[in-house]
Amino acid sequence: MSEVIDIRSSVELPAIREEISFVTSDGFRLVGELALPISGKPTATLITFHPLPTHGGFMDSHVYRKAANRLPALANLAVLRFNTRGTSSPRGTSEGEFGQGITEQADFEAAISYALERNLPNLWLVGWSFGTELVLKYGFDKPVLGGILLSPPLHRTSEEELARWASNGKRLIALIPEFDDYLRPAEAASRFSLIPQAELIAIEDGKHLWVGETATKRVLNEIVRAVNPERYPLPETYPV
């Protein structure tokens, strides 16, 4: 009988992990990582956009780090993480400086271009907090299947930008924590009413930062349910 390990906070499951970089249209080199299943073609690809870098957000923000550590093995997904301009992590520092979500349009587009150049399949945009603003502002007309929003604050997103998603045929899934610091389920229902196909998932007892293993597992499960439902729900153990 094979042994199994419990999937806990620090576990890192097998994957092909590549240090990557790409250059934006305005000339800045951004650093990141691509995690791939150890064999075969991934079912889908998550292009992730991290929380606000001026408040500690970066490519290793815990939900994304755990997604890269687990989902290639558990859900046959590719996970692309990177630091937006001026953001640092153990992988390194991306060139440039924080641009309030405006100059980051070039970062956003460079990440998608990189995924397309690598022929990664079935692209999904995953934003968390500040990252959701980039997805909503710049993802509506990109060659992706849809977007997944974690704790969207809707600080930088206009009604006009939301309305662009209404008729683009792409899925949009938003995880709204019950006790979010910025946007809670009732207000989210009103704000997202401009997008008829938006799927809002209210997360009971959830908070903006998704702290704790229970919260992380809920987020990862909802991502998998959207992009590769055959692998939902995620297992609690892994054979070794």
Q: Cα separation of 144 and 47, whole Å?
A: 10
pLDDT at 118: 98
Mean pLDDT for 222-226 is: 98
pLDDT in tens, 54-70: 999 999 999 999 999 99
Cβ burial, residue 232 (10 Å; 0-12/13-18/19+) = middle
pTM across the whole model:
0.98
User: How does residue 2 score in pLDDT terms, banded at 50, 70 and 90?
Assistant: confident
CB atoms closer than 10 angstroms to residue 59: 27
Question: What range does the domain containing 215 cover?
Answer: 4-239
CA-CA distances (angstroms) from residue 93 to 74, 80, 114, 130, 220? Answer: 29, 16, 18, 18, 26
CB atoms closer than 10 angstroms to residue 18: 12
pLDDT in tens, 200-219: 999 999 999 999 999 999 99
For the chain, the average pLDDT equals: 97
pLDDT in tens, 19-76: 999 999 999 999 999 999 999 999 999 999 999 999 999 999 999 999 999 999 999 9
For residue 193, which amino acid is it?
S
pLDDT in tens, 130-178: 999 999 999 999 999 999 999 999 999 999 999 999 989 899 999 999 9
Angle at 182 between CA 112 and CA 167, to 5 degrees: 45
- The domain tally of the chain equals 1
Q: Residues near 31 by Cβ (< 8 Å), separated by ≥ 6? A: 19, 20, 21, 82, 83, 89, 91, 92, 93, 94
pLDDT at 10: 87
1 has pLDDT over 70: no
Q: Which structure tokens are listed for 15?
A: 């994957």
Closest CA to 217 of 98, 63, 108: 63
The CATH number for 177's domain is 3.40.50.1820
97 has pLDDT over 80: yes
Closest CA to 31 of 97, 79, 83: 83
197 has pLDDT over 60: yes
